[in-house]
Amino acid sequence: DTGVSQDPRHKITKRGQNVTFRCDPISEHNRLYWYRQTLGQGPEFLTYFQNEAQLEKSRLLSDRFSAERPKGSFSTLEIQRTEQGDSAMYLCASSEGRGLSYEQYFGPGTRLTVT
Amino acid sequence: LAKTTQPISMDSYEGQEVNITCSHNNIATNDYITWYQQFPSQGPRFIIQGYKTKVTNEVASLFIPADRKSSTLSLPRVSLSDTAVYYCLVGETSGTYKYIFGTGTRLKVLA
């Protein structure tokens, strides 16, 4: 399977703990995106990488959130001192990023539950 | 910043054509319109993308009027497996990332 993969698929953690999620994009894609989706809502943009450069961060991405893409391939999203409001599905997507038109391929998501 | 609005839900019967409209009054010149399908506990799946007029692929058509303030996703002859949430997405990525998903349209296909 050469699609976008995310790990873990599910994570249950206690409030105050740190969690880290991994995303492996499609290999030839140079753009990578993180979204958060809560029940009944559309995905909300969090951040975006062009190769290893983090080009955009949403205001939703508080200082407890950090994302990296060190070699322009896989990416990690870390949430420090988790809160119950962080419970959501965290989606990763990648795209070729050529020109203005693009198609984002999404991974299956990581469902985070903060107890 | 383009905002999208869609009907919350729609019901249809198998074999019918379904049209889902998205309103995006503030669409910018460089904005593309993309539609995604999402099943429960899965990531969104790309359906179709367009800039103007009509685009057709093997699963859907996308109609965009000249003013581009709305778009219509057309699904021909839906089946039960098309029951899902459909999202319209408007924006572009030249420079500042501005893509925002709408709240989606929950389509239920009935036998």
Residues A50-94 pLDDT 10s? 899 998 888 778 899 999 999 889 999 999 999 999 999 999 999
State chain B's mean pLDDT as an integer. Answer: 89
Cα–Cα distance measured from residue B75 to residue B52, given in angstroms and rounded to the nearest whole number: 18
Question: Which residues on chain A are in Cβ contact (under 8 Å) with B45?
Answer: 106
Once rounded to an integer, what is the mean pLDDT over residues B69-86? 96
Nearest CA in chain A to B9: A40
Amino acid at A55: L
Give the model's pLDDT for residue A83: 96
Burial class of residue B67 in the structure, from the number of CB atoms within 10 Å of its CB (0-12 exposed, 13-18 middle, 19+ buried): exposed
Shortest distance, CA A109 to any CA of chain B (angstroms): 6
Cα–Cα distance measured from residue A17 to residue B80, given in angstroms and rounded to the nearest whole number: 42
CA distances from A80 to A17, A18, A20, A35 (A): 7, 4, 9, 17
Give the model's pLDDT for residue A71: 86
**Local confidence band at B4 (pLDDT 50, 70, 90 cut-offs):** confident
**Local confidence band at B93 (pLDDT 50, 70, 90 cut-offs):** low
Give the model's pLDDT for residue A98: 64
How does DSSP assign B27-48, residue by residue?
--TT-EEEEEEE-TTS--EEEE
**Local confidence band at A10 (pLDDT 50, 70, 90 cut-offs):** very high
Q: What percent of chain B has pLDDT over 70?
A: 92
Cα–Cα distance measured from residue B4 to residue B22, given in angstroms and rounded to the nearest whole number: 6
Are B30 and B99 in contact by the 8 Å Cβ rule? The answer is no
Question: Which residues on chain A are in Cβ contact (under 8 Å) with B94?
Answer: 100
Give the model's pLDDT for residue A96: 85
Q: Is the pLDDT of residue A47 over 70?
A: yes
Cα–Cα distance measured from residue B45 to residue B87, given in angstroms and rounded to the nearest whole number: 10
CA distances from A37 to A88, A112, B13, B51, B54 (A): 6, 10, 29, 26, 30
What contacts 24+ positions apart, CB below 8 Å, involve A64-69?
Answer: A67/A34, A69/A32
Q: What percent of chain A has pLDDT over 90?
A: 63
Contact B94 A106 (CB under 8 A): no
Residues forming beta bridges with residue B50, ordered by sequence position: B33
Q: Give the A:B interface size as CB pairs under 8 Å.
A: 58
What are the tokens at A59?
């205001």
Question: Which residues on chain A are in Cβ contact (under 8 Å) with B97?
Answer: 33, 45, 48, 55-56
Question: Which residues on chain A are in Cβ contact (under 8 Å) with B43?
Answer: 4, 91, 93, 106-109
Q: What percent of chain B has pLDDT over 90?
A: 68
Once rounded to an integer, what is the mean pLDDT over residues B1-21? 90
Tell me whether strands B9-13 and B105-110 are parallel, antiparallel or unpaired: parallel
Are B109 and B39 in contact by the 8 Å Cβ rule? The answer is no
- Judged by a CB distance cut-off of 8 A, whether residue B43 touches chain A is yes
Give the model's pLDDT for residue B29: 81
The better pLDDT of the pair B91, B19 is held by B19
Amino acid at B65: P
Q: Is the pLDDT of residue B65 over 60?
A: yes
